Structure formats: C-alpha cells, structure tokens
Amino acid sequence: MTPSAVLPPPDELTGTGPGFPSEAALEERLTAPSPALVRDLAALEGDLLVLGAGGKMGPSLCRLARRALDEAGRGDVTVHAVSRWSDPAAAQRLAEHGVRTVAFDLMDPDADLTALPDAGNVVFMVGAKFGSSGAPAHAWAVNAAMPDRVARRWSGARIAAFSTGNVYPLVPIGSGGSTEDDAVAPVGEYAMSCLGRERVFQHAALTRDARVALIRLNYAVDLRYGVLADIGARVRAGEPVDLTTGHANVVWQGYANEVALRSLRHATTGEGFTLNLTGPETASVRRIAEWFGHELGRPPVLTGTEAPTALLSDASRCHALFGYPGVPLRTLVHWQADWLRRGLPLSGRPTKFQTRDGRF
C-alpha cells in the first residue's frame, strides 16, 4: 500500500455529524465522559491533582474528570487544577463546573510543593516546548528536573505523566510508526529533555515504588489548535502547505484526555507503564489538504515533496486497552473546516509538526 492509499479521497467519504457553533459547544463535547471512563474513575482512590492544568488540554481534562466522577457518584473526590492561572476567567469557568483551582507557579524552583494538596492520583501536564532550542536550560529544568520534585512530593500517588512521540526518531512512512518497545532516539533539546522526564519518573518507579504511567502523545486536536487547524487555516488563506513532512498522526483531544485519566489505573512500579497515544491512521498531509480544499471550496496550494520518513507512532497498545478514538479523522477535518468557516477562535499556537531537526 502506498502512503497516498492510506486514506480515501475526499469524494469517497464525507464528514459526518454537525460542527460546533461556539467554544462552549465544543467544550461540552470534549468533556463528555464515556461509560468506560465513568467506570474507571468510580474506582479512584484519593483525590485527583492536575499539574499544569492551564494549558491547551488541561481545562477540558479537569472538567472531563469532574463530569465522570459526578456520573459515578464520586462527589467525595476533589479535582484540583494547579496552574499559574494567568487567565483568571479560565479558572473561574472551571470553578463553576466543580473543579477546585489552585494558583501556583510550578516553574518557580523555590516553590514549596508541600503547599499543594495531597492526592492519590496526579496527572502531570507541565512542559516547555516552544523556544526550547533557544533556552535549553529552561527546557531541561521544566521537563526533566521538575518531575523529580513531583515524584518525591507525591511518592505514594499514581502518576500519569504526559510525554511526547518526539522521543522516537523519524521512521519510514510505511513502517506503521514506532512502538513502545522500539529504541528511542530523540532529536533536539526538547525531545531529549522529554526523554529526561521519562527517565526521572521511571527512576522513581524503580527506586521509590512510585506508580507511573508515561503517555507519549502526538498530536492532539481540538479545533482551536492542532495539525488540522494548522493545515486548514493555510488552505483557507490560500497559503502554501509544505509537504516535506508529508505524514502525521493526530487524535481527538477528548479521547487523549480520557486515555490519560484511564491510564492512572495502569500506573505501576518497576519500569512503569508506557503508552503511545494517537490515532490509528498514518495521515497524509496532501490528502488532508485536499479534503480541506473540498470542504472550503478552494484548491490547496501545495509545495515540496514528501520525505520518506516522519514522526509516527503505533498506538495499537492504546487502542487494544481503551478502544479506538470515537471521532474518526475525516469527521475531524469536517468539523475543523466548519470551525474555520464560522471564524471561531484559534489558539494562535501552531504545532510545528513539520519540524524535522528537533528545533522548536
């Protein structure tokens, strides 16, 4: 099978399901828990603490957890969302949905983590990516040094820590992507510091009986940001879409957050539990741009030639444990095109998924 045959052409499959008229409607869908998540969180022991909850995925993860716990009848479990909360309105919205927000600067090396709540379950979402090539020391301090402090502070908790597929090398398009058992080979300071994060948490699992799950994610999309927003916005603006990095993995953010929460039950000592988290497709950038052209009524401007390698992950283990993502790729493109037509907000923070030299 050639890479272009991985996905059907636009006229063979149309997007299904309505789009979203507002950010509120999008958030409602992102935070709707599945029955499986409700069952898993019903068995949660202790409170849930989300570190770095103010980022792109954190607010919806916290609200998703709160809704699942409420459906499970676990009102006794508190969801603590920790962030600097530079946007007080974001904190207020979470508080209105029953999440306890905690203003705290985790980036401060002198910050006393004992001031934060005890919890039996921790989701670690803190990270430094963009600008890491120009400030590598900061990237290592955040991505590799901070995990040691977290693992010591919540040594008795289950910890699900977000990592990245960037710890893998670029692999041939037809390979199906790197598996969790493949050798890591990070390129650039960001990827190396993220592998440092993993090793620090693994050391805690090996030496202090910490229970750890490492989540290698690439790339989540929620319509306001992501690979699809990056491509679709360029097609809509008539700007060139570079095909050099011609293939990528993407996954619906609602599924990614759900898997992160459910992985808490798989956190373990020893080597820890490592999981690739992404969608099942090797998605063709050319094909996605063509789909957007079909949806938006303007042919995409394509430049460059697809390289024979890309950053790709095989998430078969994830799908076997947690099922396939509930929103297929073609529907995500349909929703993204509708979002762009409506002129709804974008984060303004591109993924830079095209980067091949590890410099972010």
Residue ranges and CATH numbers for the domains of the chain are: 17-222+252-280+312-326 (3.40.50.720)
Distance, first Cα to last Cα, the chain: 32
> Average per-residue pLDDT in the chain?
92
Asked if the model's pLDDT at residue 14 lies above 90, the reply is no
pLDDT at 3: 35
Q: Buried b / exposed e across 58-84, counting CB within 10 Å, b at 16+?
A: bbbbbbbbbbbbbbbebeebbbbbbbe
Q: What is the pLDDT of residues 148-198, one digit of tens each?
A: 999 999 999 999 999 999 999 999 999 999 999 999 999 999 999 999 999
Average pLDDT of the segment spanning 59-79: 98
User: CA–CA separation, 9 vs 287, rounded Å?
Assistant: 7
Q: What is the pLDDT of residues 260-318, one digit of tens each?
A: 999 999 999 998 899 999 999 999 999 999 999 999 999 999 999 999 999 999 999 99
User: CA–CA separation, 240 vs 114, rounded Å?
Assistant: 50
Side chain identity, residue 147:
P
Asked if the model's pLDDT at residue 132 lies above 70, the reply is no
Q: What is the pLDDT of residues 135-150, one digit of tens each?
A: 789 889 989 999 999 9
Residues 6+ apart with CB under 8 A from 35: none
Alpha-carbon separation of residue 167 from 28, 260, 311 (angstroms): 32, 18, 9
Place 110 in a pLDDT band, splitting at 50, 70 and 90. confident
Average pLDDT of the segment spanning 21-50: 97
Place 360 in a pLDDT band, splitting at 50, 70 and 90. confident
Task: Classify 217 as helix, strand or coil.
Answer: strand
Q: Is 185 exposed, middle or buried (0-12, 13-18, 19+ CB in 10 A)?
A: middle
Tell me the pTM: 0.93
pLDDT at 349: 85
User: CA–CA separation, 326 vs 347, rounded Å?
Assistant: 24
